[in-house]
Amino acid sequence: MYTVLITEDEADIRQLISFNLERESMETLLAKDGIEAIEIAQEKEPDLIILDIMLPKLDGFAVFKELRQDSRTRDIPVIMLTAKAQLDDVVTGLEMGADDYLTKPFSPRELVLRVKALLRRIKTTTSKSTITSGKFRLDKNTLHCFVAGEQLDLTPTEFKLLLLMIEREGTVQNREDLLREVWGYRDTANSRTLDTHIKRLREKLGDFSRCIKTVRSVGYQFRSNA
Q: Which residues bind Ca ion (CB under 5 A)?
A: 9, 52, 54
Nearest residue (CB) to Ca ion, 7 versus 73: 7
Nearest residue (CB) to Ca ion, 83 versus 112: 83
Shortest Cβ distance from residue 96 to Ca ion (Å)?
A: 18
Cα 140 to Cα 145: distance, rounded to the nearest angstrom: 9
Shortest Cβ distance from residue 90 to Ca ion (Å)?
A: 15
Shortest Cβ distance from residue 63 to Ca ion (Å)?
A: 12
Nearest residue (CB) to Ca ion, 63 versus 211: 63
Q: Of all residues in this chain, which one has the CB nearest to Ca ion in the complex?
A: 54
Nearest residue (CB) to Ca ion, 59 versus 177: 59
Shortest Cβ distance from residue 9 to Ca ion (Å)?
A: 5
Shortest Cβ distance from residue 2 to Ca ion (Å)?
A: 24
Nearest residue (CB) to Ca ion, 81 versus 147: 81
Is 78:42 a contact under the CB 8 Å cutoff? no
Cα 91 to Cα 202: distance, rounded to the nearest angstrom: 17
* CA dihedral sign, ordered 3, 23, 100, 66: negative
Number of CB atoms found within 10 A of residue 81's CB: 25
Cα 158 to Cα 122: distance, rounded to the nearest angstrom: 12
DSSP string for 22-64: HTTT-EEEEESSHHHHHHHHHHH--SEEEEESS-SSS-HHHHH
Number of CB atoms found within 10 A of residue 18's CB: 19
